[in-house]
Amino acid sequence: MFKGANLFLRSEKFLTFVSIPNRSLWRNARDRFFQNSAATGGLVALFLVVLFALFGPHIAAWNHEDIDWNLLGNVREQGAPSWQNGHYFGVDELGRDLFARTAQGTRISLMVGIVGAFIAVVVGTFYGACAGYVGGRVDGLMMRLVDILMSIPYMFVLILLLVMFGRSMLVLFIGIGLISWLDISRIARGQTLSIKKKEFVEAAAAMGVKPIIIILRHIFPNLMGVVIVYATLLVPSMIIYESFISFLGLGVQEPATSWGVLINDGASQMSYGTLWQLLFPLFFFVVTIFSFVFIGDGLRDALDPKDR
């Protein structure tokens, strides 16, 4: 019987009991994530790429803007990667240091990817959760708006925006941010509809909790599993968007650079035998995209509710 078994209590005893390990669902998921070697590998690789983006420019012997006049005329013969002249990744066709440029490009590409995905997650989740929770006509209106926005060929709009307002990072962010949240809002709405029917949401409503608090306290945390997985898969697609735009020549402005610009330049020089100009940026690009995909996969397995 539970009768006299636990009639003690009060703060001082309580403190000794708090130390009992408690396992939240997040913690279980983390354990599962690290059992997945591909995902862990992806995380390590991504960490290294981020380190490179952060500290690369400081290690580099050259600035990413400066031209090495000694090499300008004969990039093909002398511009290859070498430790002696400080061009670890070689130089580009104008004689600028590729190591510094790749590091700088990595910075911008990662930033575009992460900021774009972040905007998408915040706006999309909130929008979708509100639509799903309120339901009825409001839901119908909000989701039709998403449908309309989705039917616009966004690449076209993005290119128009960049042409009209000039090529700047800000316009690029706004353009990507405008369209990236649409998918996530649909996913969040669908999930919210199923979470809304759970008894703990009804219980909160019966308790007199305000709708906005219910969304933030009960719906959001339970959406996060799905949204995080989607967001990790969104980052690479953001990077690819940006690369594509830059590849077309509408992205970041010289002398700043990004993976798309670098790969474009490298590709155009390929026939001259300066393959390093293509391969170094491409390597970072591919490694990052794969890392995100592996991490996303690992997260999906780790957060899979069926496994609970």
Q: How far apart are CA 97 and CA 59, in angstroms?
A: 12
- Residues 289-308: x where in contact with other proteins by CB under 8 A, - otherwise, as a string: -------------------x
Q: Which residue stretch of 2-10, 94-102, 158-166, 256-264 sits at the interface with other proteins (rule: CB under 8 A)?
A: 2-10
Q: Which is nearer to other proteins, 17 or 83 (CB)?
A: 17
- Residue list 206-235, contact with other proteins (CB under 8 A): 206-210, 213, 217-218, 221-222
Task: For the CB of residue 66, give the shortest distance to other proteins in the complex, in Å.
Answer: 52
Tally: H helices and E strands in the chain: 13, 0
Q: How many residues bind other proteins (CB under 8 A)?
A: 38
* Cα three-residue angle 291-293-294, rounded to 5 degrees: 65
| Token pair of 279 as six digits | 């391969």
Residue 281: name the closest of 38, 64, 40, 44 by CA. 64
In Å, how far are 41, 45, 56, 92, 200 from 38, measured between CA atoms? 5, 10, 26, 34, 36
Task: For the CB of residue 25, give the shortest distance to other proteins in the complex, in Å.
Answer: 6
Residue 71: name the closest of 80, 61, 79, 63 by CA. 79
DSSP letters, 229-246, are HHHHHHHHHHHHHHHHHH
The SS3 assignment for 197 reads: coil
Q: Which residue stretch of 4-12, 83-91, 177-185, 279-287 sits at the interface with other proteins (rule: CB under 8 A)?
A: 4-12
Q: Which is nearer to other proteins, 108 or 188 (CB)?
A: 188
Q: Which residue stretch of 125-133, 160-168, 205-213, 272-280 sits at the interface with other proteins (rule: CB under 8 A)?
A: 205-213
- Residue list 16-35, contact with other proteins (CB under 8 A): 17-18, 20, 22-26, 31-32
The DSSP element (H or E) to which 194 belongs, if any, is helix 169-196
Task: For the CB of residue 222, give the shortest distance to other proteins in the complex, in Å.
Answer: 6
Q: Which residue stretch of 61-69, 149-157, 203-211, 245-253 sits at the interface with other proteins (rule: CB under 8 A)?
A: 203-211
Q: How far apart are CA 60 and CA 86, in angstroms?
A: 8
Chain residues in the site for other proteins (CB under 8 A): 1-3, 6-7, 9-11, 13-14, 17-18, 20, 22-26, 31-32, 198-200, 202-210, 213, 217-218, 221-222, 308
